[in-house]
Structure 1
Amino acid sequence: MPTVLSLLDLAPIAAGQTARDSLAASVALAGAAERAGYQRVWYAEHHNMATIASSATSVVIGHVAAHTSTIRLGAGGIMLPNHSPLVIAEQFGTLETLYPGRIDLGLGRAPGSDQVTMRALRRDHSSADTFPQDVLELQGYLAGKSVIPGVQAVPRGDQPVPLYILGSSLFGAQLAAKLGLPYAFASHFAPDALHQAVRVYRQTFTPSEQLAEPYVIAGVNVVAAASHDEAVAQKTAAYRARTRAFISRGAVGQNFTDAEIDAFLASPGGQNLAQMTRYTAVGTPDEVRDYLTEFATSCEADELITAHHAQSVEDRIRSIELTGAAMAAPAAV
C-alpha cells in the first residue's frame, strides 16, 4: 500500500454554478484533504474551458494556501511552453516565499487548450520542442543558479520549489529520468502507456540534487461512498456530466438526455472516451482501498494522486474523507 495519498482538484464549474463557487469548493476540498492526511493538492492549467476554473493556476494555489495550514499545494501542472520560464519562476518563488515548504511545481509540455487558444496565448507551435531546455532554465532560476547571465528571479524562496515532470507518454518518463526529477503520470485520463512509462523511468533514472531515487506519482479516479450502489450512482452521474462537457466542447448549458449520453458512450467513439477513465476506484471505503492498493502495486507508484468525481461538493468531500481514512487504516490480516 502506498504511504502517500494526494488530491488532484480539477476545479470544475458545474451547470448552474459560477467560477466563484468552484474556487470556494476548492478551498473546502483542500481543507478536507488536509484534515484527512493527504500529502498535497494539485491544480491543472487549462484555458478557454467554461467548465474549469483553474486557468490562473498560481493564483488559485495562493488563494487555497491562504485558507489552509499544512498541506502542500502545487501545479499539476503548469504547461511550460505557454509561459516564459522566468515568469513562472517569479510566480512560484513568490508562492514559496509566502508559504515556505508548501509549494510544488509540476510541469507539462501540452498546450492545455485548442489551436485557436494557443494563438491567443501567444504560443508558438514549436515551443514544445524547447521544453527540456525551458525546464533547466526554470530550475536554475528557482535555485538561484540562473543559466541566463545577469537575470534572476525575484523573489525566491529559501529553498528551491521542487519540480515534477508530468506526462502521459515515454517522452516525459525519459526526461524526468534524465533530469533526476519525480515523475507524475496522468493515468486518470490517459492510461495507455502507464506501465511502460514507469518502467522506462525507473530503469533509466539518474540521481540529482533534488532526488536520489526514482519517485512515481500515478493519477487515479475515485468515487467513494457509504454504499457500493451509492458510489456507482455518483460515478454514473459524474461521467455522464463529463461526457456532456466533452461532446459540447466545454460549453455550459448544452442539453443532452441521459439516454443520449448512454447511447454515445455505447458507440465506438464513446467507448474510447470511457477508456480514458479506465483507472477508477468506485465503491465503499474497503472496495476503494483494495482497488487503490492493487493499482499502486501494479504500476509501482510511490504516491497516488486521486481525482474525486462526485457531482456535489459534499459528495466529493465525503469521498476524500472516506478514501483517506481507508488508506490510513491498518490492512486486514
Structure 2
Amino acid sequence: AEHHNMVGIASAATSVAIGYVAEGTKTIRVGSGGVMLPNHSPLVIAEQFGTLASLYPGRIDLGLGRAPGTDQLTLRALRRNPMTAENFPQDVLELRALLGPVQEGQAIEAVPGADTNVPLWILGSSLFGAQLAAALGLPYAFASHFAPEALFQALQIYRENFKPSPQVKKPYAMVGIIGVAADSVEEAKYLFTTPQQQSVNLFRGTRGRLRPPIDDIEDYWTPAEKMRVTTMQSCAFVGTEESISPKLTDFIERTGADELMIASSIFDHGARVHSYEIFNRIRQRLEGGRNA
C-alpha cells in the first residue's frame, strides 16, 4: 500500500516493493493495495505496472485508491492538489485505456504498458469505491481490516449495481481481515496485542514501528480507546486453526467474499510466517469442504 511519511510502513515506493517481491517468488500474484492514483499521472502508473507485467507476466495486479495515503503536510510535499481526487474516476478510465490495446490515432502510449491489460482493482473503505467499481465493472476490495463499518452495505451496493466489463463478467469482491493465528489461543491473543497497540497509537497520534507484544493490553489502553479499537478491529480472527476455521467459514458465507486479504501485523517475523502457514491450512480446509 502506498503510504508516505509513516515510519511503520515501508511501501511508499509501491512499484519498487512489488518488483522486489515478484523477483523473489515464482508463482504468487503480487499487487498494490493500493496505489493512490491522485498522487500520480495515469501514464506514469501505466508505465510502472506495464514494466512489472512485462517482467513478471500474469502475476501483477493493480489496486487503486483515491485517498492521499498521508497527512496534509506531506500531501503538499508530494506536490499534490487535494482537488485531484475529484478526477479519480476519469483517471481510472485513462489508466485502463493506457494498459489496453493501442487504438487507431492514439497519440500517447505507455511503453511498456500498452496491451498488458494489467488487472485493475478498486479499493475502498466507503460506499464511493463500491459504486465506482460497479459502474466500471472492476473487482472491488473493501478495507474491513481497519474500517469495517460499511462492509455489508458496500458489498450490497457493488453487487446490485455491477455492470459487466471485459475484465470481469460478474461481481468479484475481496474483503480485508486481521489475522493472527498461533498454536494456542493464549499465544495468539498475546501476539494480537501488537496490532492492538498499533491502533491505539493511531488514535493517539503517536504512530511508529510495530511494538512488541505485551502481557496485559488492559494496562495499555483506556476504556474509550478499547471501545474504538474493538470496533475498528471487529473483522479480526485471532486464535488457533481449530478456533478460527468455523468463524472464518461463517464470515465468508455472510460476506460472499471471493477472496480474503489477511493483514498480520505480528512483531516477530517467525511468528508472522507461522500465522500465515496456519491460515493456509485453514484455506485448504475450507476449499476441501466446498469441494466435498
TM-score, structure 1 normalization: 0.81
* From 28, 39, 54, the counterpart of 1:82: 39
- Give the corresponding residue for 1:301: 257
**Alpha-carbon shift at residue 258 of structure 1 (Å):** 7.7
The answer on whether the counterparts of 1:100 and 1:157 sit within 8 Å (CA) in structure 2 is no
**For 1:245-273, what per-residue CA distance to the aligned partner results, in whole angstroms no more than 9, with x for missing partners?**
6524324599xx987x7456333245223
Q: Does 1:124 align with 2:81?
A: yes
1:68-116 CA-partner distances (Å, limit 9, x unpaired): 0000001010010111111000000000000000000000001100000
Q: 2 CA distance for matches of 1:114 and 1:147?
A: 42
**Which residue of structure 2 aligns with residue 24 of structure 1?**
none
- Work out the CA distance in 1 between the residues paired with 2:260 and 2:15: 22
Moved more, 147-156 or 180-189: 147-156
Give the direction of change, closer, same or farther, for the CA distance of 1:140–1:118 in structure 2 (3 Å limit): same
Counterparts in 2 of 1:307-318, with a 5 A limit? Answer: 307-318=263-274
Q: CA RMSD in A?
A: 2.4
> Is contact 1:140-1:146 (8 Å) kept?
no
Letter in 2 for 1:143: G
Q: Can you list the C-alpha shifts for 1:37-63, whole angstroms capped at 9, x where unaligned?
A: xxxxxxx11000011101001000001
Q: 1:233 to 1:191 in 2, by over 3 A?
A: same
Q: Counterpart in 1 of 2:17?
A: 60
| CA separation of 1:321 and 1:264: change in aligned 2, threshold 3 A | closer
- The 5 A counterparts of 1:1-333 are 44-145=1-102, 149-156=106-113, 159-244=116-201, 247-251=204-208, 262=218, 265-329=221-285, 330-331=288-289
Q: Distance in 2 between matches of 1:273 and 1:152?
A: 46
Structure 1 pair 146/47, CA: closer, same or farther in 2 (3 Å)?
farther
Q: Secondary structure at the match of 2:261?
A: strand
- Structure 1 pair 177–312 and aligned structure 2 pair: CA distance change class (3 A): same
- Where structure 2 has 5 or more consecutive residues not aligned to the other structure, the ranges are none
| Number of positions where the alignment pairs a residue of Structure 1 with one of Structure 2 | 288
Closer/same/farther in 2, CA of residues 229 and 80 from structure 1, 3 Å limit: same
Instruction: Report if aligned partners of 1:79, 1:107 keep a CA contact under 8 Å in 2.
Output: yes
State the distance in 1 between where 2:247 and 2:233 align.
14
Structure 1 counterpart of 2:33, one-letter code: G
DSSP 3-state at the match of 2:283? helix
1:122 positional shift = 0.9
- State whether residues 96 and 102 of structure 1, in contact with CA within 8 Å, keep that contact through their aligned partners in structure 2: yes
> Quick one: percent identity of the two aligned structures?
51
Q: Which residue of 2 aligns with 1:19?
A: none
Contact kept in structure 1, 2:101 and 2:115, CA below 8 Å: no
| 4+ runs deviating over 6 angstroms | none
Runs (5+) with no aligned partner, structure 1: 1-43
Amino acid at match of 2:252: A
SS in 2 for 1:153: coil
- Note closer, same or farther for the CA distance 1:213–1:119 as it changes in structure 2 (3 Å cut): same
CA deviations over 1:160-182 (Å, ceiling 9, x no partner): 10000000111100100000000
Equivalent residue, structure 2, for 1:29: none
